[in-house]
């Protein structure tokens, strides 16, 4: 199932993407589950499937303003330096990491598929990072690695947009450069784990104006999904609807010589063949 969130007459709603459009779940089961996060928390995927079965689309997908699929996750974790060769891109002669790098983003830094990515007034260094996202279904603490797969509700995509010069404002953190309003995106929908085995393998590709900039597969992750879930849950309780952005391959704009920063009008596409395409156009901050 492909679950998504969107605006209708200025109000957030949610539904299922089907052939020919979107079935509105808000009007069918919204009295029981207010949004995608509530549906996940209630373990109510079966109810959503029943509500969609035999229904014709209520809306054309291209007529909707898409939002990130989970509107208010308690946690939006981001894993850094997770694909082979990513550590070498830093050219600091460091050993491969024993543990994943980790930072958090606010949802105000994210927008939905088809919506503008915002190039801020204060920097020319807006960069792209195409990534796969795992969405937590069943929550938990101290989750054993061998049981981690059962805690994944589904997967989506992220352009983990970054303001590179602002990453270096702090001595020990990257938070500023990772949290500019509307600098990244998540979507277009969550593909549920019953239709998309999180074990993969999963491909990931990023294009800018049609040019392939990043391409890799989860077979080359240094910290696989099950390890990440077990590791994070060691110190923090994972909650239904939490999203974990799992790392970007080599080839971000900062790694070119000279760097290739995103410009107003550029189109960024992040794609995985079993999920779909997350597409955004860069716009200037107003």
Measure the CA angle with vertex 148, ends 88 and 77; round to 5°. 55
Consecutive 10-residue runs of the chain (286 residues): their mean pLDDT? 96 97 97 97 98 97 97 97 73 76 97 98 98 98 98 98 95 93 98 97 98 97 97 98 97 96 98 98 97
HSE (side-chain half, CA atoms, 13 Å) at 96: 7
Q: Is the pTM of this model over 0.85?
A: yes
The pLDDT value given to residue 91: 60
Residue 96 is predicted with a pLDDT of 78
pLDDT, position 172: 84
d(CA 257, CA 250): 14
Q: How many CA atoms lie within 13 A of 111 on its CB side?
A: 19
The Cα diameter of the chain in Å comes to 58
Q: What is the pLDDT of residue 171?
A: 85
Instruction: Give pLDDT, residue 86.
Output: 61
Cα(110)–Cα(243) distance, rounded to whole angstroms? 12
> Would you state the pLDDT for residue 200?
94
Residue 170 has a CB neighbour count (10 Å cut-off) of 11
User: What local confidence, expressed as pLDDT, does residue 93 receive?
Assistant: 64
d(CA 214, CA 206): 5
């Amino acid at each position: 199932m492909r679950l998504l969130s969107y605006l209708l007459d200025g109000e957030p709603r949610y539904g299922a993407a089907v052939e020919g459009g979107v079935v509105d779940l808000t009007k069918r089961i919204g009295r029981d589950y207010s949004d995608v996060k509530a549906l996940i928390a209630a373990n109510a995927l079966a109810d959503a499937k029943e509500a969609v079965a035999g229904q014709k689309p209520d809306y054309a997908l291209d007529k909707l303003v898409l939002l990130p699929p989970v509107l208010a996750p308690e946690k939006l974790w981001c894993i850094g330096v997770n694909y082979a060769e990513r550590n070498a891109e830093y050219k600091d002669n460091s050993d491969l990491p024993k543990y994943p790098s980790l930072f958090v983003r606010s949802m105000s830094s994210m927008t939905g598929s088809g919506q503008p990515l915002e190039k801020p007034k204060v920097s020319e260094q807006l960069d792209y990072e195409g990534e796969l996202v795992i969405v937590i279904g069943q929550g938990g603490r101290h989750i054993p690695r061998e049981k981690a797969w059962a805690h994944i509700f589904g997967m989506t995509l992220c352009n983990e947009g970054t303001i590179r010069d602002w990453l270096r404002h702090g001595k020990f953190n990257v938070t500023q450069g990772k949290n500019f309003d509307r600098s990244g995106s998540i979507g277009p929908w969550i593909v549920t784990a019953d239709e998309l085995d999180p074990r993969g393998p999963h491909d990931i590709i990023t294009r800018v104006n049609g040019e392939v900039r990043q391409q890799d597969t989860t077979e080359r992750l240094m910290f696989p999904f099950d390890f990440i879930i077990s590791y994070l849950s060691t110190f923090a309780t994972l909650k239904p609807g939490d999203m974990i952005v799992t790392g970007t391959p080599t080839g971000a704009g900062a790694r070119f010589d000279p760097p290739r920063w995103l410009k107003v009008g550029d189109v960024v596409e992040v794609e995985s063949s079993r999920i779909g395409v997350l597409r955004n156009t860069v716009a200037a901050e107003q």
